[in-house]
Amino acid sequence: MTQPFVRPDVRALLDQMEAAGGKRAVDVPLEEARGMLHASRHLFDATVGELAVIRDIAGGPCPMRLYDARLKRGPGPVLVFYHGGGFVLGDIDTHEPLCAEIARLLDLPVVSVGYRLAPEHPFPAGVTDAIEAARWVAESPSELGRVATGLVLAGDSAGGNFTIVTTLALRDEPAAVPVLAQWPMYPAADPTTEYPSLGQYGEGYLLSRASMHWFDECYAPDPKDWRYDPLQQEQRGLPPTLVITAGLDPIRDQGRAYAAACAKAGVSVIYLECAGTIHGFMNLRKALPSAQADLERCAAHLRLMLAGA
């Protein structure tokens, strides 16, 4: 069998993790698993860097944080971001470097959403928070300090799932302003279907099949509910969509299937598959310098999408 292409920086990181013992989320207690993701940020992700605004937002349906490259700005689009972590791990802090960089690259205010996590808050608590947070931002509340003329919804992994579900929810019951674009990153877009990539990359490429099973047990979703498996819904009528996947990701094929469903439904969709890299690469930009170019390529596509919105 032909070995898959692995970028040199990805190979070095995987070898480093294996030499260190290669603990997975499923192998340790919950709080330790959460701590591992926080430690990963400081070990492997880029620094936050300079930004005009980084502040927590009060008054919303759940914790949120605003990132903006400008101290003040006029009315315009606002990007709402949902962090990954299998619905169980991650928070606003683990994804702060990524949100700050998105704010710089897109020159947009970014609102990071700290939704409730499983197993303390199983399905559908987190996705309910995600939808309500987007609606709240769309209303331009005074606590936000920005006037939203439209939303861009984005998120990675489990947050990619929330991105798609929230876009569908706001298509069917619109918020105060429209969703201009969505950007699911290596999304859990069709979690009830087992695709070939799960067997190909479910061990040895950071995200493991065993950890995914543990995430699912913690989240305790209803597999028949579209808020867990958004491909059960018709995708027609969605805004321009950018789907990005990693070539060595066990859930890569879920992203492929989602992009195909969008195209079949007549949605304007761009699909970018980043060859030779792994799930979560957007949060590993210090360890994986190649990921910065991937992120910049996404930003370039989104700027063109928004220019035509």
Q: Look up 157 and say whether it is catalytic.
A: yes
Query: Residues 157, 197, 208, 211: which is the catalytic one?
Result: 157
Q: Look up 268 and say whether it is catalytic.
A: no
Query: Residues 45, 83, 208, 279: which is the catalytic one?
Result: 279
Query: Count of CB atoms within 10 A of residue 11's CB?
Result: 11
Angle at Cα 112 formed by Cα 107 and Cα 114, nearest 5°? 180
Residue 154, SS3? strand
Q: Are 269 and 236 within 8 A, CB to CB?
A: no
* In the block, residue with structure tokens 């695709």: 195
Helices (H), 54-110: 96-106
Q: Look up 190 and say whether it is catalytic.
A: no
Look at the chain and count its residues: 309
Largest CA distance in the chain: 58
Query: Residues 91, 156, 216, 249: which is the catalytic one?
Result: 249
SS3 readout for 219-272: HCCCCCCCCCCHHHCCCCCCCCEEEEEECCCCCHHHHHHHHHHHHHCCCCEEEE
Tokens found for residue 3: 């070995």
CA distance 174 to 180: 12
* In the block, residue with structure tokens 């302003």: 177
Catalytic residues: 157, 249, 279
